[in-house]
């Protein structure tokens, strides 16, 4: 049995707050977008909740960025370019093939590297790519009156609406894949438990396998 | 002056006559009265030419006193007479409160109703109907720095009401929609629903048949009444332009009116942009930064709807879920075969 303390308290708090906000934003966002559908929230209720959650998400995102700047957690987001494609390929063949044949996990969680390359790249894409764009498009809605009427010859609000919508769909997609992928740890709940307790535990058996491969 | 109001209008009955003066009043009384009026008038900058400045505190008091004088009679809710020619009841009463809040609420009555109304009975040759918003405001541009009455008048001349040859619209003019004693132009900072209600009431006061829930008019508009509470008739019934003025007076005919939902519900909300100018600037000053963000109305129903993106996204998400389910099933199978293998090796181990 090996145990690594990978998720400090602040990170876990941020993560679950972020998760809650995601769910709230998706529900209220869908209620606004598909307004009139009976099983969704009424439009008038959804709007202030969505706006509040959006503001909180902004704050939460900023704390995440700051957290990664001032704590060692940021190191997990430094991409190691050497062998990047090899590692990426290994990870993908594992998910696409090896996992069905009980092949050993190609990545071994360590204190310095808790994210596999595929994970790392997708988290960077989401947290430093999609999220800021989503947040900016959300705030542009709120303050659209101060923006020019047209953008690239199209109505500004329409451009913002389409951007916000597309980004939102991408993040829904991310959330679904994310929730599935975390079940691919050593056991179904290895990763979930790590995000709850902070401790990443693996049985020695697996460690031996990794050690043998290394 | 007050003695001239001896006749109580409440007791007036029968057909209304418009004699100037009873024949027994000698002409010199008129001359004398004129002199008295002039003398009183000297103290007041409101009487006479060149008095078109916004009333200051002292002139305001004079104006208020004069209003009070006239409203002794015209403030009575029941004050009306039946026009002997048309037989219609003409309402002569003014609502004090509405007057006070109107754009002309601080003006002396005599500023519009010149000469002679301070006497009773009023001289017959006077008629208020000739007074005209555009004339007076064009002659005295100093009374407003934000409205251009020439533009309003040009727009109005192109509107359905001015060009219609329907007999009902024959003597349509500014006063058909604006009672000068009541009108208060919406200003920045007023709540949008209030503005909408106020403006639409102007239109619906004549077009009252539209209110009938059974009327087929506007039946194509889903949630008709909700729209009428949320947008102005003007927003659909005027041209879509980039003007920075919140009101256009060029009311279009039915065929030309805006039927396009997308103009409001998507594509930059061209139509609503005009209405929302009332809100935009007021907001941050009056409400906190966050309140403004939370209770924000920039998003109208359906604005983000785009069938292409919706379908693409839903298909991709659906496919992903399917792939993940298949993946999960594959993993389950692998797990089962691993268990069998382990069980196999375990029993083998036992044997050996």
Dump the DSSP string for A186-210.
Answer: SSTTHHHHHHHHSEEEE-HHHHHHH
DSSP 8-class letter at A79: -
A141 close to B (CB below 8 A): yes
- Percentage of residues in chain B having pLDDT higher than 90: 14
Span A75-96, mean pLDDT?
Answer: 88
User: How many whole angstroms from its chain centre is CA B291?
Assistant: 26
Q: Determine the pLDDT at residue B42.
A: 43
Give the number of beta-carbon pairs within 8 Å between A and B.
110
CA of B275: which chain A residue's CA is closest?
A145
Q: Determine the pLDDT at residue B34.
A: 47
On the question of pLDDT at B43 being above 50, the answer is no
**How far is Cα B269 from Cα A155, in angstroms, rounded to an integer?**
8
- Per CB-CB distance under 8 Å, the chain B contacts of A157 are 267-269, 298, 303
Q: Determine the pLDDT at residue B5.
A: 29
Residue B229 contacts by C-beta under 8 Å, 6 or more apart in sequence?
Answer: B193, B196, B197
CA atoms within 13 A on the CB side of B340: 6
Q: Determine the pLDDT at residue B349.
A: 55
Cβ distance B177 to B202 under 8 Å?
yes
Tell me the nearest-neighbour CA distance from A68 into chain B, angstroms.
27
Number of neighbours of residue B82 by Cβ within 10 angstroms: 14
Integer angstrom CA distances of residue A118 from A64, A178, B6, B66: 20, 12, 97, 84
Q: pLDDT tens digits for A37-70? A: 678 888 778 888 999 999 999 999 999 999 999 9
On the question of pLDDT at B225 being above 70, the answer is yes
Tell me the nearest-neighbour CA distance from B266 into chain A, angstroms.
6
- Structure tokens belonging to residue A203: 């049985």
Q: Determine the pLDDT at residue B147.
A: 85
Cβ distance A169 to B309 under 8 Å?
yes
Interface of A with B in 170-189 (CB under 8 A): 172-173, 176-177, 180, 183-184
Pairing of strands B89-91, A2-5: unpaired
Q: Determine the pLDDT at residue B313.
A: 93
**How far is Cα A157 from Cα B78, in angstroms, rounded to an integer?**
52
Query: Which span out of B116-130, B160-174, B236-250 was modeled with the highest average pLDDT?
Result: B160-174
Q: Determine the pLDDT at residue B290.
A: 62
- Per CB-CB distance under 8 Å, the chain B contacts of A156 are 268
**How far is Cα B172 from Cα B154, in angstroms, rounded to an integer?**
15
Span A130-151, mean pLDDT?
Answer: 83
Q: Determine the pLDDT at residue B59.
A: 76
On the question of pLDDT at B49 being above 50, the answer is no
DSSP alpha helix (H) spans, B79-189: 96-101, 133-139, 149-158, 160-163, 174-177
- Structural Rg of chain B based on CA atoms: 34
Cα–Cα nearest to A103, from A214, A206, A211, A204: A206
Residue B317 to residue A47, Cβ atoms within 8 A: no
**How far is Cα B9 from Cα B79, in angstroms, rounded to an integer?**
8
Cβ distance A51 to B296 under 8 Å?
yes
The model carries a pTM of 0.63
Tell me the nearest-neighbour CA distance from A206 into chain B, angstroms.
14
3 state SS of B124: coil
Span B94-109, mean pLDDT?
Answer: 88
Confidence band, pLDDT 50/70/90 cuts, at residue A125: very high
3 state SS of A17: helix
Q: Determine the pLDDT at residue B341.
A: 85
Owner of token pair 């009444």: B225
Q: pLDDT tens digits for B76-92? A: 888 877 877 777 777 88
Q: How far apart are the first and last CA of chain A?
A: 18
3 state SS of A40: coil
- Classified by CATH at the fold level, domain A2-213 comes out as Fumarate Reductase Cytochrome B subunit (1.20.950)
Residue B301 to residue A150, Cβ atoms within 8 A: no
Give the best residue of A33, A44, A104, A152 to mutate against chain B (max B CB count within 10 A): A33
Cα–Cα nearest to B103, from B69, B70, B65, B136: B136
Integer angstrom CA distances of residue B346 from B100, B339, B342, B343, B349: 98, 10, 6, 5, 5
Residue A55 to residue B293, Cβ atoms within 8 A: yes
Q: pLDDT tens digits for B287-304? A: 556 666 666 656 655 667
3 state SS of B352: coil
- Per CB-CB distance under 8 Å, the chain A contacts of B313 are 166, 169, 172-173
On the question of pLDDT at B184 being above 80, the answer is yes
**If 0-12 CB within 10 Å is exposed, 13-18 middle and 19+ buried, where does residue A30 land?**
middle
On the question of pLDDT at A102 being above 60, the answer is yes
On the question of pLDDT at B222 being above 70, the answer is no
How many residues in total does chain B contain? 352
Q: Give kind and range of the element (H or E) at residue A171.
A: helix A156-181
| CA-based torsion, B43, B46, B48, B54: positive or negative | positive
Cβ distance A212 to A7 under 8 Å?
no
**If 0-12 CB within 10 Å is exposed, 13-18 middle and 19+ buried, where does residue B260 land?**
middle
- Using alpha carbons only, what angle is made at residue A23 by residues A18 and A26, rounded to the nearest 5 degrees? 120
């Amino acid at each position: 049995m090996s145990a690594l303390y990978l998720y400090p308290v602040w990170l876990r708090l941020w993560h679950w707050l972020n998760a809650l906000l995601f769910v709230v934003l998706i529900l209220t966002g869908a209620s606004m977008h598909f307004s009139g559908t009976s099983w969704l929230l009424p439009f008038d209720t959804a709007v202030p909740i969505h706006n509040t959650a959006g503001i909180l998400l902004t704050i939460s995102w900023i704390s995440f960025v700051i957290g990664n700047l001032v704590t060692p957690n940021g190191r997990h987001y430094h991409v190691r370019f050497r062998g990047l494609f090899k590692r990426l390929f290994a990870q993908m063949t594992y998910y696409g093939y090896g996992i069905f044949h009980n092949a050993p996990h190609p990545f071994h969680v360590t204190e310095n590297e808790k994210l596999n390359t595929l994970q790392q790249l997708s988290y960077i894409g989401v947290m430093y790519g999609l999220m800021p764009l989503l947040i900016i498009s959300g705030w542009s809605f709120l303050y659209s009156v101060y923006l020019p009427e047209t953008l690239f010859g199209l109505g500004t609000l329409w451009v913002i609406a389409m951007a916000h919508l597309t980004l939102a769909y991408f993040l829904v997609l991310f959330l679904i894949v994310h929730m599935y992928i975390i079940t691919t740890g050593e056991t179904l709940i290895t990763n979930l438990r790590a995000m709850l307790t902070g401790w990443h535990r693996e049985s020695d058996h697996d460690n031996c396998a990794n050690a043998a491969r290394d | 002056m007050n003695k001239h109001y001896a006749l109580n209008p409440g007791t007036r009955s029968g057909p209304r006559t418009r004699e100037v003066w009873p024949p027994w009043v000698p002409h010199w009384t008129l001359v004398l009265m004129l002199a008295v009026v002039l003398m009183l008038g000297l103290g007041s900058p409101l009487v006479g030419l060149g008095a078109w400045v916004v009333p200051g505190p002292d002139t305001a008091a004079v104006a208020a006193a004069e209003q009070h004088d006239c409203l002794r009679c015209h403030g009575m809710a029941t004050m009306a007479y039946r026009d002997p020619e048309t037989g219609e009841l003409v309402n002569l009463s003014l609502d004090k409160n509405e007057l006070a809040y109107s754009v002309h609420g601080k003006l002396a009555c005599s500023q519009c109703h010149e000469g002679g109304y301070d006497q009773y009975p009023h001289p017959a040759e006077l008629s208020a109907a000739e007074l005209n918003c555009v004339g007076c405001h064009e002659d005295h541009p100093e009374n407003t720095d934000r409205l251009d009455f020439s533009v309003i008048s040009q727009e109005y001349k192109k509107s359905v009401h001015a060009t219609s040859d329907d007999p009902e619209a024959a003597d349509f003019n500014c006063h058909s929609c604006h009672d000068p004693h009541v009108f208060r132009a919406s200003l920045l900072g007023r709540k949008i629903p209030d503005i909408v209600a106020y403006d639409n009431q102007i239109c619906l006061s004549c077009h009252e048949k539209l209110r009938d829930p059974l009327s087929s008019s506007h039946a194509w508009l889903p949630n008709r009444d909700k729209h009428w509470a949320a947008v102005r008739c003007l927003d659909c019934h005027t041209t879509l332009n980039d003007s920075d003025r919140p009101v256009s007076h060029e009311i279009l005919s039915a065929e030309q009116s805006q039927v396009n939902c997308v103009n409001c519900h998507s594509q930059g909300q061209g139509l609503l942009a005009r209405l929302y100018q009332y809100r935009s600037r007021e907001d941050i000053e009056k409400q906190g930064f966050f309140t403004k963000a939370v209770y924000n109305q920039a998003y109208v129903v359906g604005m983000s709807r785009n069938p292409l993106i919706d379908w693409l996204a839903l298909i991709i998400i659906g496919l992903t879920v399917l792939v993940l389910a298949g993946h999960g099933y594959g993993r389950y199978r692998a797990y089962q075969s691993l268990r069998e293998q382990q069980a196999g090796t375990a029993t083998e181990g036992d044997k050996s």
